[in-house]
Structure 1
Amino acid sequence: MLKDRFVTHADLKEAAAIERRRQYEESRKKRIFNAKQRLYGQDHQALEKQIHEKQEAKQSQNEQERKWNAEFCRRNEVINAKEREKGLEKKRQLNDLHFYRCQYQKKEDSRDYDLIDPKTRNEVARTADNDARLGISSAQVFAGEDILIHERKRLQKQQLKAWLEQQMKEKRQAEADRNEADIILQKTMNSRDQLALEMANMERNNAQRMQYAVLNYNKKLANEQNWKRQLAKKHEDEDNKAEIYNMITSDILTENPDVAQSRMGLHRKIAFEYRGMNAEELEHFKREQCKQIEERKKRETEEKLKEQMWDQMDMNITRACMLKKSEQEEKNKKNTIILNEENVRLAQNQKSQNTYIDKVLYANECTEKFFDQFNTTSR
């Protein structure tokens, strides 16, 4: 019979440690047995780029939420201000209504107050038709006996007209107060918008003035550069004209033969002033030229003889190399035949040896159980 076992804190701690080691071993096996990850690893640069993009997106989202919250708070403040204004207006209307009722709608001014007036309830003596003490239940005033009906109706109309005029005046005053409050609020909002517009216009004007100053400076600089270019072109044209005049009037173009004679001797000439040879010099030059032609033909004949000798020597060397190559090819053929025969013999020996190993020496085969005992852990 099995006995109950009490689980202690040490048992729970040991079980947690075993589970932690098992999970670590499983994660390590995934890393070790994954050849691609083991050889190449992870792209840390791409991961850092993704982290940076997530942080930027999070910052952008936080900034957007902050702006929305600020806008929400501002609108709530405007709504609360409107609600407070409405509450104050409603409270003021209620106070005005209460004051009006207390001032113009008293209980003793009501039409039936004489029925509940404790002072005149028990008085029935009639002194006149308009006696204030006579009520409906006095049995002293009857229909058709009201001689002051017109005066009474006139007074009632005047009283009703006064009440209506007072109500209209109070309503107009309340409407004027509301309009004034709306005007003040609108002026406040307009002043704020006007201030923002003025600031924007100021910034735009400053930018325009800056652009205008930069444009003027660039125009001045361009004009100065154009003036310098024109001045330089003018100087260059003057220099070119002076140079052309000097060249035209120089001894080079006029071909003055006296300027070519050197002061160092009669047969010495100035090279950059020299313009040609005389008849004797030309004759001497032609004789030397013919002499050089004959010498060059002689050198060409000697070079042709040398080339023929070198060609004959090249042909002899080529013939000897071809003979040597033929002998080497014959020798290589014989060696190839011998090597093929040796390879055939070795192949037969290896085939018989493999047959002996597969059929006799290693007759047993490896099952899946043999291979399953490898790579079971990461250690």
Structure 2
Amino acid sequence: MKVALPKDLAQEVALSKRRQAELCRQKRIFNARNRIIGGDPEAWDVQVHDQKIKEATEKARDETFAAEMRQNDKIMCILENRERRDKKNLCRAINNFQQNFQMPETRREFDLSDPLALRKDLPARQSDNDVRNTISGMQKFMGEDLNFHERKKFQEEQNREWSLQQQREWKNAQADHKFADIHLVPPKLLWMTSCRPGQAVSLHLDPSAAEDLYTKTRLQFDETARHLQDLESATRTAVCASVKEFNKNQALESAEKKKREKNQEQEDNLAEISNLLRGDLLSENPQQAASSFGPHRVVPDRWKGMNQEQLEQIRIIQKQQIQEKLRLQEEERQRALDWDRRRVQRARATLLMERQQQRQQRDLRRALDSSNLCLAREQRSRKKSMKEACTNCPTEDYFTQFNTRSR
């Protein structure tokens, strides 16, 4: 019997391990699906299983989070509704308190924001004697009469009182006139009627004698009135004559004064015209336009223009400027022509260089084409020679020697 030593056992174990690894390797390599895919399906299955477990774990965690979020949303909705209700109750309580204890009318500055201020305010004017009708206020104009109806009513009442008073005075005058006529009757026109003892005595006037007495009295009054009228007319005539004489003297004095003023004005005008004609303004004295700020400055409202020397100097300077401008234009034209000539030369040189490059590229392309043609001929000849040298075909035994081991 052959005894197995520990060393042989270790070698046998190692050899068996290598054989098992070789078999596993051949299974993996000779499996066309795994070889084409080029991966480890078992590892992939493990990864897929781990991915599913991870997705399930994440899904459970997401569902837990979603449940918590829904619960938090419900709590937030409840809290928001409670806060909205509390805020609404607070606003209602504040409004009730303001309406009951903080009315706008109780504020100190309510008159500044009162919407009915214009309706409560007094009108711009109440009457013509209103103290607010100042001159600058423009509230009272000529021809206005706000108290027309009251004034008309007062005038009607006043006219009525005057009419009543005139009626009373007329009645009193008639009564006094009658009483005066009775007292002016001579004693011989009166005769006493017979009366009995114990009765009042009554006086009677003859109607014809009373009429004569009234006529004489009226004639006497008329004579007195005519005499007073003559005296008034004579006085008025004398006053008119004196006034006419005074007005005539005043007119003569006014005419004399106007004549003296006219003569004085004519003399002043003549003196002014003479001063203007002889002055520096119309005589165009250049010294009167000189400014006190320097000899190169003038007073615009007194300056009458430049003299001939200044104009001639300006013309000379203008001619010099024209010549200088023509010279600059000529230099600019020459410079432009020079630049144009350089640009044309540069363009011509560029065109010649491009043509030379095109010729060089054409030569290079021709050389490349000829070299490619030579290489193609050599390749065709080599393929032809290889086809003639390798004419044998492989058999099945040739292919069975492959894929016998994994190495």
Compute the TM-score of the two structures, normalised by the length of structure 1: 0.31
Higher share of residues assigned helix: 1
**Based on CA coordinates, which of the two structures has the bigger radius of gyration?**
2
